[in-house]
Structure 1
Amino acid sequence: MVPANDAEKLILDLVTPIADLEQVAVEDSLGRVLGQTVSSQLDFPHWDNSAMDGYAVRYRDVATVPTQLTVVEEIPAGQVPQRRVQPGEAARIFTGGILPAGADTIVMQENTQRQGEQVTVLTAPMAQEFVRQQGSFYQAGAELLGAGVKIGAAEIAVLAAAQCVPVPVYRRPRVAILSTGNELVEVNQPLGPGQIVDSNRYALAALVAQTGAVPVPLGIVPDQRAATRQAIAEALTQADMVISSGGVSVGDYDYVDQILAELGATIHIRSVAVKPGKPLTVATFGDAEPGGKLQLYFGLPGNPVSSLVSFWRFVQPALRKLSGLNADWFPRFVWATTDSDLRAEGRRETYLWGQLSMGDRGDRFTLASGGHSSGNLVNLSRTNGLARVPLGETLVRSGEKIQVLALGLS
């Protein structure tokens, strides 16, 4: 069995990020990964402007107060000033308005008293107060956003303001998903004796989509060598990564590892020192030489919880790197105080699922109620954290700190 951290490093070292670019509209770029460094030919702000509703003045005129000035112009946002502010003058200005020539300071309206065309400044401002200088946020030509950044709402605002259209993004990885097992049936089929619904397919497709990739569900494969071989070979032609669930343990009908070898794969991992999720196959197809590209295959356990834990712990980081993210690949562990005693056998790194929440004294972890069997997916509902009990430990008492893998973060 490969220790969890060693398996994580080995897997990430095998991943070659996708380099194919697509051009998308700004409004379609949410969740995509920026494929090129973006710069702008615009300064931000584009011009000196006011950060307040008030009056644009010469600082030397208002260094001593009270002082009375003549209002010579009104400048709303979006209007070009028509007058230069001379000694003893002021311009009424609104937030975002262009600073007129001659003025260098803004007096907020709350510190003034207006009567007709005269305004009295009651409180002395600081020099250049409430003036947003051209280029103070960003100077034209500099890097605005780097390649490998995942685009969220804030990045969309930046791209739109910079008039970056269209947006260069990496192609989304395609992930083929297979489920193996004679006992599996479709979600809309009646269940016969010994049969179960292929829930792994739907869960894994959802996790793949949440991570920003394109799931390619290829259905159920019966426990037959020929059918399994054909399904895996077909999946490899349709996707950048292949995930199967089931068929990777040591049973008489677990053919996946044998077939991968027959198809020319290099098998790097057959099991990991993790509970749940010990049976884990990691294989590659393709050229491992410099400049070559490897196609990853993950054979996950068939038990539902084991399958999901394996995805969260090992597949999701690999998929993040494959998608072109610049560095944010790794599982996201946070320290939390457990509200429950956490028990483990100690022979493997153990993950117990539950709810991670922010409390008055930091993050807290509450163990999901019910049995923590690898086949019990019912109490996995609402899980957003996996508490990690390290190898060799058998008990973490309530009130102690524990590392928790934070879920739901793509």
Structure 2
Amino acid sequence: MVSVSDAQAIILNLVQPLDRLRDTEIVNLLAADSRILAVPVTSPLDFPHWDNSAMDGYAVRYEDVQHSSAEQPTVLEIVEDIPAGYQPNSTIQPGEAARIFTGALMPAGADTIVIQERTRRDENRVHILAAPKPQEFVRHKASFYQAGTQLLPAGIKLNASEIAVLAAAQCPQLSVYRRPRVAIFSTGDELVPIDQPLQSGQIVDSNQYALAALVKESGAEPLLLGIVKDDPVALEKVITHAIAIADLVISSGGVSVGDYDYVDKILQSLSAKIHIRSVEMRPGKPLTVATFPSTDAINRVSSHSPLYFGLPGNPAAVLVTFWQFVLPAIKKLSGITEGWEPAFLKVRSHHELRSDGKRETYLWGKLHLIDGVYEFYKAGGSSSSGNLINLAQTNALAVLPMGKTLISPQEEVQVLQLVNGE
């Protein structure tokens, strides 16, 4: 059995990111949201494209207005109005000004903006009531970005702000990594699909639906392979198919030490190397992580051998182990260059939290902002790994380290904040 931190390190060391040459595709900008940029972007445009005004006011020569005050205002002649999108026609001479609006081009001869709140207009003249700073409220060409330099690096997730930058840079298409393919199946004779009436002793397969949703949220493509009975022949067939079509494989159930837990034996029969068999955590102790030898014997869709995750069967354990181990692996696989590991916060616990201290323990609940400070509220009811019901609407996992049996109310606790795909 390995520690949670050692398991995390082993898994991330095993992950091989998608290949920048083979595993990319060209997409339109409107289809690029949440994709991972594969090639750095440059632009032939400067930002700003030209010197322009940051405020509504008057474009002036600083030397004309540097001594202005309310008691002794400088009076300038207004020679032009310059709205945004208008090409100025005048060159500002000594004693002149141009009325200008936010985003409009600076006229030749002017080097400073006096905001309208510090002026008084009298027909075609403006009274400057306060001295501005030199070049105040002027946005200079290329001061935000210089044409030809890197605009966005490869390996970042494209969110709304990056999409806006790319649109402004007139990038209608770009190269992104393809979505990782994640094969998902559940094991167990007791499992039935959601549309089948339950018989005594049967359980609806919720894990496949939860994992499919989590995989989609992570930006990957789920490949659903259904329910596989506790039959070694059927399991081997499905696992062989899964590693041929996917970059990463997730099964739930069948990785404990019961008489009908066949997954590890089948992986070994397929020459897989098992790196992890169990982890010192609750829930989620039975966890199998394996890789397969690099060979052309299987017509794999990926440029490298897939990573196999055999998750526990209990629903809460499936979710906890996904958030802790599988999600970081998908992030690294997808081409993101950094920030794969789960992000923890230190917050106050509203409730008393208990553990037997024998393993690192995860308790689910909600984060609430109370008087500007986050507090963790434990979900009501049992924290059993089989209790799926009280997982609904939770957004955080409180972590009690090994040896820690009690966290009192208002005591600090480490919390994993659950953010979709982040």
TM-score range, shorter chain: over 0.9
Matched-pair contact (CA < 8 Å) for 1:179–1:244: yes
Asked whether 1:343 is paired with 2:346, we answer: no
CA–CA separation in structure 2 for the residues paired with 1:168 and 1:161: 17
> What is the deviation of 1:55?
0.8
Q: Which amino acid aligns with 1:172?
A: R
Matched-pair contact (CA < 8 Å) for 2:43–2:147: yes
CA–CA separation in structure 1 for the residues paired with 2:196 and 2:304: 40
> What is the deviation of 1:361?
4.7
Asked whether 1:63 is paired with 2:70, we answer: no
1:8 is matched with which residue? Answer: 8
Q: Which amino acid aligns with 1:21?
A: T
In terms of mean alpha carbon deviation, does 366-375 or 161-170 score higher? 161-170
Matches within 5 A, 1:56-135: 56-65=59-68, 66-135=73-142
* CA distances 1:119-149 after superposition (whole Å, capped 9, x unpaired): 1111211111110011111111221111111
* CA distances 1:336-369 after superposition (whole Å, capped 9, x unpaired): 1101111111111000110022222522111001
1:52 is matched with which residue? Answer: 55
1:38 is matched with which residue? Answer: 41
Give the SS at the match of 2:250: strand
> What is the deviation of 1:293?
3.1
Give the SS at the match of 2:409: coil
Asked whether 1:232 is paired with 2:243, we answer: no
Give the SS at the match of 1:208: helix
Give the SS at the match of 2:375: strand
> What is the deviation of 1:382?
0.9
Give the SS at the match of 1:337: strand
1:322 is matched with which residue? Answer: 333
> What is the deviation of 1:231?
0.7
Give the SS at the match of 1:251: coil
2:299 is matched with which residue? Answer: none
Matched-pair contact (CA < 8 Å) for 1:14–1:294: no
CA–CA separation in structure 1 for the residues paired with 2:135 and 2:309: 60
Q: Percent identity?
A: 59
CA–CA separation in structure 2 for the residues paired with 1:114 and 1:18: 62
* CA distances 1:212-266 after superposition (whole Å, capped 9, x unpaired): 1011111010111111110111111211100000000111111100001111211
CA–CA separation in structure 1 for the residues paired with 2:105 and 2:46: 14
Q: TM-score, normalised by structure 2?
A: 0.95
> What is the deviation of 1:195?
0.9
Question: Displaced runs of 4+ in structure 1, greater than 6 A?
Answer: none
> What is the deviation of 1:112?
1.4
Taking only aligned residues, the RMSD between alpha carbons, in angstroms, comes to 1.2
* CA distances 1:184-222 after superposition (whole Å, capped 9, x unpaired): 111111111111111000000000111110111110101
Give the SS at the match of 1:294: coil
> What is the deviation of 1:294?
3.3
Matched-pair contact (CA < 8 Å) for 2:188–2:253: yes
1:308 is matched with which residue? Answer: 319
Matched-pair contact (CA < 8 Å) for 1:269–1:283: yes
Question: Structure 1: 5+ residue runs without aligned partners?
Answer: none
* CA distances 1:263-298 after superposition (whole Å, capped 9, x unpaired): 12111001000100000000011339xxx8331000
CA–CA separation in structure 2 for the residues paired with 1:192 and 1:296: 35
Q: Which amino acid aligns with 2:54?
A: A
Asked whether 1:403 is paired with 2:414, we answer: yes
Question: Structure 2: 5+ residue runs without aligned partners?
Answer: 296-302
Matched-pair contact (CA < 8 Å) for 2:247–2:305: no
User: Which of 248, 252, 257 is 1:241 aligned to?
Assistant: 248
In terms of mean alpha carbon deviation, does 365-374 or 70-79 score higher? 70-79
Q: Which amino acid aligns with 2:337?
A: N
> What is the deviation of 1:332?
1.0
Matches within 5 A, 1:140-219: 140-219=147-226
CA–CA separation in structure 2 for the residues paired with 1:307 and 1:352: 14
> What is the deviation of 1:108?
0.9
Q: Which amino acid aligns with 2:2?
A: V
1:331 is matched with which residue? Answer: 342
CA–CA separation in structure 1 for the residues paired with 2:267 and 2:88: 72
Matched-pair contact (CA < 8 Å) for 1:286–1:293: no
Matches within 5 A, 1:271-282: 271-282=278-289
CA–CA separation in structure 1 for the residues paired with 2:157 and 2:148: 21
Q: Which amino acid aligns with 1:8?
A: Q
CA–CA separation in structure 2 for the residues paired with 1:102 and 1:195: 82
Residues paired across the two proteins, number: 407
CA–CA separation in structure 1 for the residues paired with 2:334 and 2:138: 42
